[in-house]
Structure 1
Amino acid sequence: MKPDLFRRKAIAAACMCLPLYAAAQEVRGPLNVVVVTGARSEHSSFDLPAAIDVVDAGQIRDTQPRVNASEALAAVPGMVARDRQNYAQDLQISSRGFGARSAFGVRGVRLVADGIPATMPDGQGQAATFNLDMAERIEVLRGPFSALYGNHSGGVIQLFTRDPKGPLAVETSFSAGSYGMRKLDVNAQGRSGKLGYLLDASRFETDGYRAHSAAARDQAYAKLVTEPTRDSRLVLTASGLRQDDTQDPLGVTWATYQRDPRAGEIDSTDTQSPQRTLADRYNTRKSIDHQQFGLTWEQHFGADRLLLTAYGGNRRVVQYQSFSRGFQAPPTHSGGVVDFDRDFHGIDANWRAVRELAGGTLRATVGLELARSVDARQGFENFVGNTFGVKGNLRRDERNEVRSVDPYAQLEWERGAWVLTGGVRRSRVRFEVSDRYLANGDDSGSVDYRHTAPLVGVLYKVSPSLNVYASAARGFETPTLNEVFYSGTGGGFNFRLAPAIGKHLEAGVKAMLKPGVRVNAAVFQVRTQGELVVDSSSGGRTSYRNASATLRQGGELSLDAQLGAGWNARLAVSALRAIYDEGFGAVAKGSRLPGIPKTSLYGELGWTEQSGRFGAALETIANGRVYAEDTNTATPAPGYAIVNARVQASQQLGGWKLKQFARLNNLFDRTYVGSVIVGDANRRYYEAAPGRNWIVGASAQYQF
């Protein structure tokens, strides 16, 4: 689609909602969902010229086991959050198609928790560090405005935990479900004088749906809040996550998936045990030990504000991968065991000033963000003698450092019905490698990535309950440290990788059709040069390259409605055309980007009893087919639609507050591929999702 044609379609989409003006102008007081993502200060999402959705505490906590962020993100348009049934590799999250290629963790989307980044300076993040038990809300920002958050392309997911208040309250919850799933959580919160406190600890275990996918996870979280003066606020947070020997089931071929979706891939090179799977032979697994702390100081000077954030932590990972090369590993092979110890820290300081200017209000924010991570990284062979899946000879020993320096500024001027926004962020990301294992050559070196990301946006308030907006930005995404590790099969660091530069355009409409009914719609286009794509992937190791131009065009629609008599409805629909706009190698122009569905949908119809004590709902989740590699010749993962059912109840007995829920997911027992491993060299792309499964949970809170 040509840019001028896209703009005409964007204007037409906005104008489609103008006939709603007559009905909307009778509505008073649009739904006031207050967010801080996007504008970096409290702001009504209705008046922000950006696609932003909020998932509230009820959606996160009341009818879910609170194990994966995908439980809550399913209802957000433009987001695809896949539970891979593989806790060794975390969720697969993409926003408008960015992040779908990630071999593990979250890439292309910035993660933030209570103002503290859960994404490293190289752009790699881990959603497992989110504490969903204490979550108050999740804000999801997509499109041009996310460019002002630095090194990523797709969006920002920001989680906020609850603020402690009131007398001491102690709560425990337990949930259990199919495939040996069980989770226990205990928390306490309250306030004494000027000090608020929140403590939480949980234990999650599962036998796993897929073969060789058992996992156990321990999480802890602490938060202290105090207001030393009337105009200041100090927040201290600390969190920890531990997973020991989390099994990795790996992907499977299409033939294996069709034979048995739960089965692992047979290792054809294993002559001693011909029916043993790769995962079993190499005992593929990962252990994670992650701790971090954060400090946020907020000081108000009248309408102006100073915000200081500092954080630090440590992440230790030991991962056993599968390689069928066995004893024939070439000299450049760095081993099948990854072992790294990472220290990380950073600061973010910004000043916001509010002034009257030219008959309107100007809000200006200037800031500086610094981040640094240092890895002591080693690699070992994953065999000793004839035994696989054990730590063998050293094949890699190095120090990896990533530093980022990002000054930024954002201006917002509001006068009458107009809100004008502008911003800029200057990013510098530096990678340094000191190689201490020289038997396979010296991979020491460094590389700098620099980029200036500008943003402009405009919003017009057609009426108190109908806004239209447009925005544009130029985004920036460097390779991650993991993506520069390998230049190809068995190769060393790939310092030749260039950053991907994207030009984002978006237009949208936000309307309140009547009290309790809100509609958001957006159309967008992103042209990217130098998109990072998978070059090859095998046994847990993935190498990358820069492709030619890519194009993403799409639309998003969300509807939230209170229908009366206790009934409510929610709808989130996305359509996305994501293609290679230029061919390269064997990839033809027009080929679809792998890992990205063309369409996705979430629908919900719920009912709550008048007193709020009982409720029930039906949910529908649907996704289009997904290609697994760039040429689109391998069998794509077929599209699917599933239906979930849930019920909930609550009681108040004196100081006790009791809650219960039950879920039946995949009600009609559909068989489908939940996620794909993009570009796997052995064509083991497919990761199956569970059939019909159940979850029940209960909680009891006592307030003293």
Structure 2
Amino acid sequence: MPIKLPQTLSFFLLFLCCSHMLMAQYVIEGTVIDQSTNIPLANAIIQNVESKAAITTNARGTFSIVTKNTVDTTLRISLKGYQTQTVLVYTGKKIVVALFPTTNALDEVIVNGITIQQKLKQTTEAVAVVNEREIYSENTVQLAPILNRVPGVFMQSGTLNTNRITIRGIGARSPFSTANIRAYYADIPLTDGNGESAIEDLELATISRMEIHKGPSSSSYGVGLGGTILLYPEYAKYNASSANLYTTVGSFGLFRTVAKVSHGGEKANVNLIYSNTHSDGYRDNNSLDKATATITSNWFVNDKNELSFIGNYTSLKAFIPSSLNREDFENSPRNAATIWQNARGFEDVKKTLFGINWSHHYNETFTQKTSVFTSFNNNYEPRPFNILEEKATTFGIRTRLLATKNFENSSLKWSVGGELFFDDYNAKQFDNLYQDFPDGTGSVAGDILSDIDENRNYFNLFAEAIYTRKKLTLSLGLHLNQTKYTVQERLNASTEEDFTFDAIVSPKLGINYAISNNFNLFGNIAHGFSTPTTAETLFPNGAFNPNIKAERGWNFEVGSRFHTKNRKLTGSVSIYSMAVSDLLVNRRTETDQNITLNAGRTAHNGVEAAVRYELLRDKNITVYSHVNASINDFSFKEFTENDTNFSGNDLTGVPKSVVNLGIEALSTKGFYGRFDFQAVGEMPANDENTVYSDAFQLLNGKIGYQNSIGSQFRYDISIGANNIFDKSYASQLQVNAFGNDTNARYFYPGLPFNMYGGIQLAYKL
């Protein structure tokens, strides 16, 4: 017989059930990160759209918000300097939300995220940010037009595979590569044990953002005299999958394809990118074939642990036309240097890079970040004077302990850590017998001339602290480096030399003060150094030069960052003075080889400015303009060689001025366009200052149209041109080339007027 509850009791139980359902609360947890850098964002506002309740993320970028919804909740995530996002979240899920930086509030964007996070406007050093839109504003094959818009940075590009990046004049005399500048790719060093950084070997499509720290002010990154370039890889978006195909065709046989597949889940993502580039080249003996494969992946394991992985493979074969003397440069710029043409000189490079980053959050205060990395590099390079065969294997580990402590009216962030780097390098040189064979044969290897093993190891210890109180920010840093080389000539097993550079301690002190919400002043004093490259430590016969020393210098700088209240005008200005001692200078020998010596002292004084103005903004179109400028006064202060006094001469290989003017338009209908004008001053080609390259002006432009078909398919069609006025200019100098002023081969001809067109297809899976 069924039991019947009294009617009063039934209503009471029903009331309890309904009350529980009405009063039940559910929790949504998540992490907010920067899409470009993958770093967590503190103080992002998380708002429940329905209830209007709001909270902010903590120092680790995490949040926990209460909702009464049993199924799903709509959240709005916002942070100054980033695009606001609205997401639908299923109750009980843990999510990762990636915000995109805005273009009109870059000073609010978080920089130096790999170590201590800080808003750009609060930094005590000169930092430039190159965002994804800037990277894609050119043909995405050449890095030089992008970097040359940054005040203080100058990239010379003789060919697609012959480049040199200088920052504030540092590294201008490196023969064929970028030296004296540190470079990192997601906390993985790109600078090898040789002290050289081949940033251009990376596929531009794998980079989402660049940070350029000018001068030796980044204590956690090796305090290179020129500065540090931090590259952030592109990661897949969370909760989205897509496939992309880019194709570019252009002048001089340019054909480039990039294929990308991305998949992002709620807590993990993976990005696969393959690229293939071919160019016939403007000059004789100038063709290039390059293929790259890159994988990036990120995984939020749990609340305390995050893992990321990076793998990159590059295969490059590029023929070398080399530099020309003035007569050939002016009259026959398409020719290769005769000896390089006859030898069919080229470089055949295979590079592999792997790295794993691990972040562990001990608690709200302490975080440990550790990176383990390795690389394998092989190079075969026939040259007129010999054939070089190189092999290098590197391994390293890098770790930092970061802490954040907030007080009532102030905060303290600090980081301590270290880096170990091991580089095993072997170089063999063979006689090149090309002259003994018929024309057109190219290089033929003969007897071995040298077989050198070099172990290049260093360790860095570093510490940084940033104290902020209301409008004032103070930063302190200390860096210790010890570098050791072991060199053995294997053809003579008894010949082995050990050389340990003196330990170098590099301090820094910086200050930033907010005069108002729209105006910040900053200044810093920093010490830096740059050790010689392998080539610079050796005589042409392969013997080690025990007298070679590291360059050292002190940088003094003051500057400001500012914007109007409505942010139509934003900008920055820096004034600096750097004194460098024991400067490394390369001399070209009669056989086209290099010998390096410590030249004395140089002075690097300059002014840098970057101003951006919003000319127009309405519902249909936005138009921006920018002016970037560098005024340089770089000179030898003390330099005497073979009874010749170069003191007072202009520093070799850098221009007196670089000015960039640009305008960019973005339409809501999908049309876009950009034009950039660059004026570069004359540059001394030798220390005697008897030969200068001419000043030149370039105009580059690109227009395009992008749109969607349905909700899943998107396309982007563009066409562009470089050197629109078809100016003749030297795109790179071979400084101090051997010979007299008439026959010395100083000049790499720049590309004349050239065009390209591209199409990008994207499909959401």
TM-score (norm 2): 0.82
Match for residue 43 of structure 1?
Answer: 118
Distance 1:230 1:629 in 2: 58
Local SS of the residue matching 1:128: helix
* Kept after mapping to 2: 8 A contact 1:144/1:505: no
Match of 1:290 among 351, 358, 371: 351
TM-aligned CA deviation for residue 303 of structure 1: 3.4
One-letter amino acid matched to 1:637 = S
Distance 1:605 1:538 in 2: 47
- Listed as ranges, the matches of 1:379-528 within 5 Å are 379-383=429-433, 386-387=436-437, 389-438=443-492, 442=495, 444-486=497-539, 490=541, 492-514=543-565, 515-528=567-580
Distance 1:540 1:291 in 2: 30
**Does 1:668 find its partner at 2:725?**
yes
Match for residue 69 of structure 1?
Answer: 143
Match for residue 77 of structure 2?
Answer: none
One-letter amino acid matched to 2:465 = L
Match for residue 270 of structure 1?
Answer: none
Match for residue 191 of structure 2?
Answer: 119
Match for residue 685 of structure 2?
Answer: 628
Match of 1:575 among 631, 635, 639: 631
In 2 relative to 1, CA 538–65 (structure 1 residues): closer, same or farther, beyond 3 Å?
farther
Question: C-alpha offsets along residues 189-239 of structure 1, whole Å, 9 cap, x if unaligned?
Answer: 121343200000000010111221111000110011101102321001100
Distance 2:764 2:683 in 1: 49
* Kept after mapping to 1: 8 A contact 2:253/2:280: yes
Identity %: 21
TM-aligned CA deviation for residue 82 of structure 1: 2.0
Distance 1:607 1:65 in 2: 17
* Kept after mapping to 1: 8 A contact 2:284/2:341: no
TM-aligned CA deviation for residue 99 of structure 1: 1.3
TM-aligned CA deviation for residue 513 of structure 1: 2.2
In 2 relative to 1, CA 127–365 (structure 1 residues): closer, same or farther, beyond 3 Å?
same
**Does 1:351 find its partner at 2:401?**
yes
Distance 1:370 1:561 in 2: 44
* Kept after mapping to 1: 8 A contact 2:219/2:464: no
Match of 1:150 among 208, 215, 222: 222
TM-aligned CA deviation for residue 538 of structure 1: 5.8
Match for residue 84 of structure 2?
Answer: none
* Kept after mapping to 2: 8 A contact 1:659/1:698: yes
* Kept after mapping to 2: 8 A contact 1:443/1:492: no
- Listed as ranges, the matches of 1:274-313 within 5 Å are 277-300=338-361, 301-313=363-375
- Listed as ranges, the matches of 1:11-22 within 5 Å are none
Match for residue 602 of structure 1?
Answer: 660
Distance 1:284 1:464 in 2: 57
Match of 2:325 among 232, 250, 253: 253
Distance 2:360 2:700 in 1: 46
Distance 2:578 2:208 in 1: 32
Match for residue 110 of structure 1?
Answer: 182
Local SS of the residue matching 2:547: coil
Distance 2:268 2:354 in 1: 18
- Segments of 4+ moved more than 6 angstroms: none
TM-aligned CA deviation for residue 34 of structure 1: 2.5
* Kept after mapping to 2: 8 A contact 1:189/1:199: yes
Distance 2:704 2:568 in 1: 22
**Does 1:378 find its partner at 2:428?**
yes
Question: C-alpha offsets along residues 659-689 of structure 1, whole Å, 9 cap, x if unaligned?
Answer: 1111111111111111101111131110010
Match for residue 640 of structure 1?
Answer: 696
TM-score (norm 1): 0.88
**Does 1:340 find its partner at 2:398?**
no
TM-aligned CA deviation for residue 30 of structure 1: 5.9
Match for residue 94 of structure 1?
Answer: 166
Is the deviation greater in 679-688 or in 406-415?
679-688
Distance 2:243 2:341 in 1: 42
Distance 1:130 1:219 in 2: 8
One-letter amino acid matched to 2:636 = Y
Is the deviation greater in 176-185 or in 489-498?
489-498
In 2 relative to 1, CA 540–353 (structure 1 residues): closer, same or farther, beyond 3 Å?
farther
For these two proteins, the number of residue pairs brought into alignment is 644
Local SS of the residue matching 1:302: coil
Match of 1:179 among 219, 241, 252: 252
TM-aligned CA deviation for residue 483 of structure 1: 1.1
Q: Between the two structures, name the one with larger relative contact order (CA 8 Å, sep ≥ 6).
A: 1
* Kept after mapping to 2: 8 A contact 1:368/1:407: yes
Distance 1:95 1:512 in 2: 25
* Kept after mapping to 1: 8 A contact 2:715/2:759: yes
Match for residue 748 of structure 2?
Answer: 687
In 2 relative to 1, CA 438–68 (structure 1 residues): closer, same or farther, beyond 3 Å?
same
* Kept after mapping to 2: 8 A contact 1:401/1:433: yes
* Kept after mapping to 2: 8 A contact 1:443/1:493: no
* Kept after mapping to 2: 8 A contact 1:194/1:228: yes
Is the deviation greater in 45-54 or in 144-153?
144-153
Distance 1:202 1:188 in 2: 12
Alpha-carbon RMSD: 1.9
Match for residue 7 of structure 2?
Answer: none
Is the deviation greater in 502-511 or in 140-149?
140-149
In 2 relative to 1, CA 574–294 (structure 1 residues): closer, same or farther, beyond 3 Å?
same
The structure with the largest alpha-carbon Rg is: 2
Match for residue 604 of structure 2?
Answer: 552
Is the deviation greater in 255-264 or in 384-393?
384-393
Q: Which runs of 5+ in 1 are unaligned?
A: 1-28, 266-276, 324-335
TM-aligned CA deviation for residue 463 of structure 1: 0.6
Distance 1:318 1:660 in 2: 38
* Kept after mapping to 1: 8 A contact 2:223/2:527: no
Distance 1:466 1:385 in 2: 65
In 2 relative to 1, CA 443–639 (structure 1 residues): closer, same or farther, beyond 3 Å?
farther
In 2 relative to 1, CA 161–600 (structure 1 residues): closer, same or farther, beyond 3 Å?
same
TM-aligned CA deviation for residue 95 of structure 1: 0.2
One-letter amino acid matched to 2:159 = Q
Match for residue 336 of structure 2?
Answer: 264
* Kept after mapping to 2: 8 A contact 1:30/1:464: no
